[in-house]
Amino acid sequence: MFFQINSLLLQWNYSQTHEDYPLVADIYPLYNYFMQYNTQRAKLIISEYGRNIQEMAELACEIKDREERNRAAKSIIQLMAIMTPQVRDEENYERKLWDHLHTIAHFELDVDCPYPMPDPGAIKPKGKKPNYPKRKMRYAHYGNIVEGFIKKGSELEEGEEKDALTEIVANMMKRNYLNWNRDSVNDEMIKEQLVDLSAGKMKVRENFRLMSTSEILQQNKSNAQVSSQQNKNITNANNPSKKMFKMKKKPKGRY
């Protein structure tokens, strides 16, 4: 059916007169409406009600007869209540629906509302989106946390505390590096990049050895298993009914 309508529309567009295709003349406005992208349409004021409610509210504003306009507004309120059943649990949910209807209609809907129309100036405008930090990182795979530790460690005076923090940061850098590349990890490269990021203020001891790759991967695996088990325990605690209906495994052997 869709392709038949398309072919008829093409014939209608290329014909010199539209009188040859009276059926298409009726279909074309409907086809043109449904083939529009949402980006080409007006922006939704309250998106949870959808575009149909918004267009109904706009059409209700154009109804000249007041009684008919009141009936249309009440019908829209009923549809809004059906679409948002969670609102029924709130206090004065009917007033909230009427306020939303006036907002969707740009405060131009003149009807006999059981509640006073909300003040357009009282509605707070949406806040601006916060700007995402765009600072450049020399080694992005290490992350901001590692850079923060390096910045803090660079301010410390020489001593045991600074040496301990330097060793911790070096192992953190290797751990983060393994998240991106598990094939080859050069410990000397990590030590050099630590010196580079700290402007030469943080250096590990000459005889210090970083954690082995296998040890780090094993720790990551065990941490993931512990986290998974904790999530299961939390889920079972929140849903005790699952334990009641859990089927017991039959013991092995003959019966």
CB 78 within 8 A of CB 49: no
pTM of the model: 0.43
3-class secondary structure per residue, the chain? CHHHHHHHHHHHHHCCCHHHCHHHHHHHHHHHHHCCCHHHCCCCCCHHHHHHHHHHHHHHHHCCCHHHHHHHHHHHHHHHHHHCHHHHHCCCHHHHHHHHHHHHCCCCCCCCCCCCCCCHHHCCCCCCCCCCCCCCCCCHHHHHHHHHHHHHHHHCCCCHHHHHHHHHHHHHHHHHHHHHCCCCCCHHHHHHHHHHHCCCCCCCCCCCCCCCHHHHHHHHHHHHHHHHHHHHHHHHHHCCHHHHCCCCCCCCCCC
pLDDT at 15: 46
pLDDT at 57: 92
Closest by CA to 77, choosing from 37, 112, 40, is: 112
pLDDT at 8: 44
Contacts of 19 (CB under 8 A, 6+ apart): none
pLDDT at 252: 59
Token look-up 């889920």 returns: 235
Give mean pLDDT in consecutive 10-residue pieces for the chain, a chain of 255 residues.
44 46 50 66 87 91 92 92 86 90 91 88 73 76 86 87 89 86 81 88 86 80 74 68 50 55
Q: What is the Cα–Cα distance from 31 to 25, expressed in whole angstroms?
A: 10
Closest by CA to 150, choosing from 210, 200, 197, is: 197
Q: What is the Cα–Cα distance from 215 to 221, expressed in whole angstroms?
A: 10
Q: How many CB atoms lie within 10 A of CB 121?
A: 6
CA 226 to chain centre: 28
Buried b (16+ CB within 10 A) or exposed e, 191-224: bebbeebbeebbbbeeeeebeebeebeeeeeeee
CB 9 within 8 A of CB 24: yes
Token look-up 């995402």 returns: 132
pLDDT at 244: 47
Q: What is the Cα–Cα distance from 141 to 222, expressed in whole angstroms?
A: 23
- Residue spans of the domains in the chain: they are 2-35, 47-121, 140-212
